[in-house]
Amino acid sequence: MKKAHVCPKCSARKIWLIEPFRLVDDTLAGQPVAVVAHQTDGAGSFFRVPRREPKGVVDLYVCAACGYSEMWARDIEGLVEDPSRGVRLLDATGAHEGPFR
Ligand SMILES: [Zn+2]
């Protein structure tokens, strides 16, 4: 859908692109959806409290005919693993390099 601009469900060729996807808030512009809203800048000392530092944004592709939607993340280079807060990197790189290829 992102590359071909064709809906994978109904084959329509009119796709709405909303970039970045935003949630309604009190502002006219709305709040962009972050990929990870709760990451911190890693700081945290006696004098400095860690600041919330949202990472990544999400673009939304919506089929104009059937409404099927896909979200695509970008600007995710700064993501940091934090399993205790639900952020994990599932890395299958090299998973097929065993004796059972
Ligand atoms: Zn469709």
User: Read out DSSP for 63-80?
Assistant: ETTT--EEEEEE--TT--
The alpha carbon of 52 and the centre of ligand 1 are apart by a number of angstroms equal to 37
In the structure, what pLDDT confidence band is assigned to residue 20 with cuts at 50, 70 and 90? very high
Residues flanking ion ligand 1, Cβ below 5 Å: 7, 9-10, 12, 63, 65-66, 68
Q: Report the Cα 23 to chain-centroid distance in Å.
A: 14
| Distance in angstroms between the alpha carbons of the first and the last residue of the chain | 31
In the chain, the DSSP E strands lie at 15-18, 22-23, 31-32, 34-36, 55-63, 69-74
Amino acid at site 94: G
The alpha carbon of 76 and the centre of ligand 1 are apart by a number of angstroms equal to 27
Question: What confidence tens digit (pLDDT) does each residue in 28-77 have?
Answer: 999 999 998 877 766 666 677 777 788 899 999 999 999 999 999 999 99
**How many angstroms separate the CA atoms of 1 and 37, rounded?**
26
Q: Parse the chain into domains and list their residue ranges.
A: 15-85
In the structure, what pLDDT confidence band is assigned to residue 98 with cuts at 50, 70 and 90? low
Q: What is the pLDDT of residue 43?
A: 61
Q: What is the pLDDT of residue 54?
A: 86
Give the tokens for residue 54: 């949202």
The alpha carbon of 72 and the centre of ligand 1 are apart by a number of angstroms equal to 17
Q: What is the pLDDT of residue 101?
A: 55
Q: pTM of the predicted model, to two decimals? A: 0.77
The alpha carbon of 65 and the centre of ligand 1 are apart by a number of angstroms equal to 5
The alpha carbon of 19 and the centre of ligand 1 are apart by a number of angstroms equal to 19
